[in-house]
A and B are shown apart, each in its own frame.
Chain A
Amino acid sequence: MSLRVGVITFPGTLDDVDAARAVRYADAEAVPLWHADPDLRGVDAVVVPGGFSYGDYLRCGAIARFAPVMQSVIEAAGKGMPVLGICNGFQILCEAGLLPGALVRNSKLHFVCRDQWLKVENNTTAWSSRYERGAEILVPLKSGEGGYQADQRTLDELEGEGRVVFRYVGGNPNGSRNEIAGITSANGRVVGLMPHPEHAIEALTGPTDDGLGVFLSLIDAVGVPA
């Protein structure tokens, strides 16, 4: 048996096929989860993928956080289940209160799609243990509202507790405070990031395969079920 990883689809989710592919590349089983169905189908972990859930017309992730499936995810995360939010998924996790802060329009107001260098600042989370601390990885960033914002106290707390997992290097692409690209919950089980590791799992279709480590890390966190 392999690890079962749920991949949520909301109406408007786009990168679910990619997240599922990345899960498979890490030799785990991708289990589709539907926004309207609270059943997590016995998965070991959940990925909330990128896209524009419900169109994201109000505010990214604002509507998705109320979906029935998210109520189950919030509950499971409370019990320690690993949850990864990528891009829109990160926005949803922030809206849902699983991660602190919020994501706002990019400082230049344009959507930005580019290959982005990130520094791995914390390799003790459920989704980053396969990296060396301080390693630099190249993965796509593609978002219009990727500027990470939080009040000073929250920022101090995140930095003080080492909860910044990924940081932009080589220039701030979107105005994120402290160049933050991804953060984790206090227990290291919930991680959200704006860049797309699921789009860097093979050199054929991504800039590198640097992103695969995110999904392989999960195996260390959960262990392969017997």
Chain B
Amino acid sequence: MTAIQPAVDTVEHASGTPDLEQPYRELGLKDDEYARIKEILGRRPTDAELAMYSVMWSEHCSYKSSKVHLSYFGETTTDEMRSKMLAGIGENAGVVDVGDGWAVTFKAESHNHPSYVEPYQGAATGVGGIVRDILAMGARPLAVMDPLRFGDPEAADTRRVVHGIVAGVGGYGNCLGLPNIGGEVVFDSSYQGNPLLNALCVGAMRVEDLHLAHASGTGNRVVLFGARTGLDGIGGVSVLASETFGGDEHSGGRKKLPAVQVGDPFTEKVLIECCLELFAQRVVVGIQDLGGAGLSCATSELASAGDGGMHVYLDRVPLRATGMTPAEVLSSESQERMCAVVKPEDVDAFMAICAKWDVIATDIGEVTDGDHLVITWNGEVVVDVPPRTVAHEGPVYHRPIERPADQDALQADTPDALARPSTPEELLALVTTMASSPNLASRKWVTDQYDRYVRGGTVLAQPSDSGMIRIDETTNRGVALSTDCNGRFTKLDPYAGAQLALAEAYRNVATSGATPVAVTNCLNFGSPEDPAVMWQFEQAVKGLADGCAELGIPVTGGNVSFYNQTGSTAVLPTPVVGVLGVIDDVRRRIPTGIGAEAGETLLLLGDTRDEFGGSEWAHVVHGHLGGLPPKVDLAREKLLGEILVAGSRDGMVSAAHDLSDGGLAQALVEACLIGETGARVFLDGDADPFVQLFSESAGRVLVAVPRTEELRFTDMCTARGLPWSKVGVVDPEAGALEIQGIGTLPLAELREAWEATLPALFD
């Protein structure tokens, strides 16, 4: 078996063969996009250039459909909001100054489609990718989170996807040594053929150690380090090879390559330690992770962020497979690789550190004066492009936008007519039914597969409202994070839905005692070519940006994932919002479970209205989705947050749990079970008990305050205009949740209902 040496399509060859047919359509480029590439280059692109442009101009890399909308985040961010931001949208990840000389960086990313094709590896490499983004900023990755969406829990294929994704998130994150401090597990049939795997990573560094990727300084070396480059994820680009070689696997073409990448968390763990040592020894000028578009992305982005010139000797790239073409090497999505720019005098020290960690490092080129990215292959020029045209000047689309024709009908179909429970027996049974429903049941089956302890900084993780980590052992400064999104709310009203997601994440962070300071997002939508989807997207972006402006916290970064649909049916619009909070002393964190102190009073903060549009109750009991989502009041959320943080600071609050899906009933169940303590609850006799227990009105939190602090705390609420009501007392002796006038539920029975559901479905 002899490998045929590929004849390489050089720039010279391209100039001489202007009319050669190229498979640009198979690579996803439109006629006018291809024409523009020819115009930029003044000739047809080489195979390698075509590979680069096609992947960098894809929706995923170029944000061509979302760009015009995302700029709204920048427009709505004031200087005041920006004041704590050290890096924002456009960088690998946003960076926020959190005090004591610490900078925190965090970002979420999606890996949805790969996680359907090969759930384990798709999820694993999703985690790996976001961790490298954080690492590229110069930060030590500290924790991960994983907002997940799955199809109908009863459907046969859901089991495959759940098992694979959860094991993949755990397998990679556990082996990497990053605690998993939170996430989401949501089931809805719209995700049946298109689960969502979003992964978030948070890291920290000293403010002065912030590294932004750039490649300035003529003569600086470009070093590729980490794993070897193989045929991973180049399924699309294989059309180039097959075009030249007739597409037969045995003649050098590679028709049927899987687009699947396999992760190697061990290599990534070593890469993390190696990178951190490189940063600490100050032997790198800039660093870039290799993500979606591999070397195409890393070289063009590094070059355009610097002075613009770079020469890469592509044949030096260490390969894992034989006979790879330049186009394949440039497009390979092999994981666990990084690219650094290093001063010539630091190269020896750089290589020594890599050798210590057994990391393969190769000098693959240099920064040049001039403004072209030139890539050679065995001495022949295969790429010669202005790098900005690859990395940043891709196409921009103003896609048609149209409010869906059935949106009015959807909103008019309110849940008002749905049958409600009325007798105490029905209400009591509903508490258990809701607690055991797949979206409200305990997430333990999932989270027990994730290491939440490693690194010893985890202060709060599941089942708390937010994940919290200590970042400084001497001062006890820490950060808290929560991700949220209710796709049903967003479907009913994308603008309000995005704000509700923001409000919930904000509230979760504040509920644990931290002050929210910054936002990231992962916007999962259907096809941008569908005007109705674009309307949802535009509305959600507007809602989120306006909401952030009202709360005074900036969006520091995010990710857009389009084409999430099965056939022509889009998933529920799912703009996952992540909020980062700061807490100056993690020892004053507020736990979620009640019973930490004897004789606590239970207070409900906020207003409860008859709001059931998009609620979990309508979904579980009636399979209904219609009407309007709950009202958003961000000023109220802000006040609520301030009260909670003040309460934590002054030791007035011993536990708190925010109200969201399932309303007060579910919050009570969780607060009791997590705290392993019973409670006696009294409802307002003048109001509808069903509404009091199950409404999903926003802006509410259940707090437990020690008897001695009750007056001080309620006085503060009253003085600041926050409605509160006394809803019960903690009762350690009871061993039950007693709702007066309705009935009593022994904790053991509730625990069984809450904890048995996911094991029953998936064990």
A residues whose Cβ falls under 8 Å from a Cβ of B: 11-12, 14-15, 17-18, 21, 51-52, 54-57, 108, 110-114, 140, 142, 144, 196, 198-199, 204-206
Contact = CB atoms under 8 A, between A and B. Distances in A.
Contacts of A196: 453
B265 A55 contact: yes
A57 B266 contact: yes
Contact of B270 (A12, A18, A21): A12
Contacts of A17: 455-456
B456 A21 contact: yes
Contacts of A144: 174
B459 A205 contact: yes
Interface in B450-484: 450-459, 470, 473
Nearest to B473: A21
Nearest to A16: B177
Contact of A55 (B266, B357, B451, B453): B266
A111 B449 contact: yes
B457 A205 contact: yes
A18 B570 CA distance: 45
A60 to B, nearest CB: 11
A56 B451 CA distance: 16
A201 to B, nearest CB: 8
Nearest to A144: B174
B171 interface: yes
Nearest to A53: B266
Contacts of B273: 11
B357 A11 contact: yes
B449 A54 contact: no
Nearest to B456: A18
B520 to A, nearest CB: 25
A144 B174 CA distance: 10
A11 B448 contact: no
Given A11-B358, A205-B457, A111 B266 contact: no
A55 B175 contact: yes
B504 to A, nearest CB: 26
B458 A205 contact: yes
A168 to B, nearest CB: 15
- The residue among B175, B451, B458, B473 with the most chain A CB atoms within 10 A of its own CB is B451
Interface string B62-93: 00000000000000000000000000000000
A110 B762 CA distance: 12
Contact of A14 (B264, B454, B458, B586): B454
B266 A14 contact: no
20 contacts: A11-B273, A11-B357, A12-B266, A12-B270, A14-B176, A14-B177, A14-B269, A18-B453, A52-B265, A56-B266, A57-B266, A112-B448, A113-B451, A113-B453, A198-B456, A199-B453, A204-B470, A204-B586, A205-B453, A205-B456
Contact of A206 (B175, B358, B453): B453
Given A12-B266, A113-B449, A113-B450, 9 more contacts: A11-B273, A17-B456, A18-B456, A21-B456, A21-B473, A54-B266, A55-B267, A110-B167, A205-B456
Given A111-B171, A114-B448, A204-B587, A55 B454 contact: no
Contact of A111 (B170, B270, B586, B587): B170
A21 B473 CA distance: 10
Contact of A112 (B176, B264, B449): B449
A11 B455 CA distance: 16
A190 to B, nearest CB: 24
A125 B265 CA distance: 36
A18 B454 contact: yes
Given A52-B266, A110-B167, A111-B171, A15 B454 contact: yes
Contacts of B269: 11-12, 14, 52
Interface in B247-279: 264-267, 269-270, 273
Interface in B198-248: none
Contacts of B167: 110-111
B110 to A, nearest CB: 24
Nearest to A198: B456
A51 B358 contact: no
A46 B175 CA distance: 23
Best-surrounded residue of A11, A57, A206 (most CB of chain B within 10 A): A11
A197 B447 CA distance: 21
Contacts of A206: 453
A55 B177 contact: no
Nearest to A9: B273
Contacts of A21: 456, 473
Contacts of A205: 453, 456-459, 470
Contacts of B587: 204
Contact of B451 (A11, A111, A204): A111
B456 A199 contact: yes
A39 to B, nearest CB: 16
Contacts of A18: 453-456
A110 to B, nearest CB: 5
Interface in B502-522: none
Contacts of B452: 113
A110 B449 contact: yes
Interface string B158-180: 00000000010011001111000
Contact of B454 (A108, A110, A114, A142): A142
Nearest to B447: A113
A75 to B, nearest CB: 25
Contact of B453 (A56, A57, A111, A140): A140
Contacts of B264: 55
A108 B163 CA distance: 13
B451 A142 contact: yes
Contact of A142 (B358, B453, B459, B763): B453
Contacts of A56: 175, 266
A142 B267 CA distance: 21
Contacts of B447: 113
In the A-B complex, the 10 residue pairs with the closest CB atoms: A55-B266, A14-B177, A18-B456, A199-B453, A52-B175, A142-B451, A140-B453, A111-B449, A11-B270, A12-B266
Contacts of B357: 11
A180 to B, nearest CB: 21
B758 to A, nearest CB: 12
B474 to A, nearest CB: 13
Nearest to B356: A36
Contact of B177 (A51, A111, A199): A51
A15 B269 CA distance: 13
Nearest to B177: A14
A110 B44 CA distance: 53
A51 to B, nearest CB: 6
A37 B479 CA distance: 37
Question: Which of A11, A113, A140 has the largest count of B CB atoms less than 10 A from its CB?
Answer: A113
Contacts of B454: 14-15, 18, 142
A108 B358 CA distance: 34
Nearest to A139: B453
A225 to B, nearest CB: 26
Interface in B583-630: 586-587
Nearest to B454: A14
Interface in B416-457: 447-457
Contacts of B470: 204-205
A14 B455 CA distance: 7
Contacts of B174: 52, 111, 142, 144
A196 B174 CA distance: 15
A14 B268 CA distance: 13
Contacts of A142: 174, 451, 453-454
A198 B264 CA distance: 27
Given A111-B171, A204-B459, A205-B470, A11 B266 contact: yes
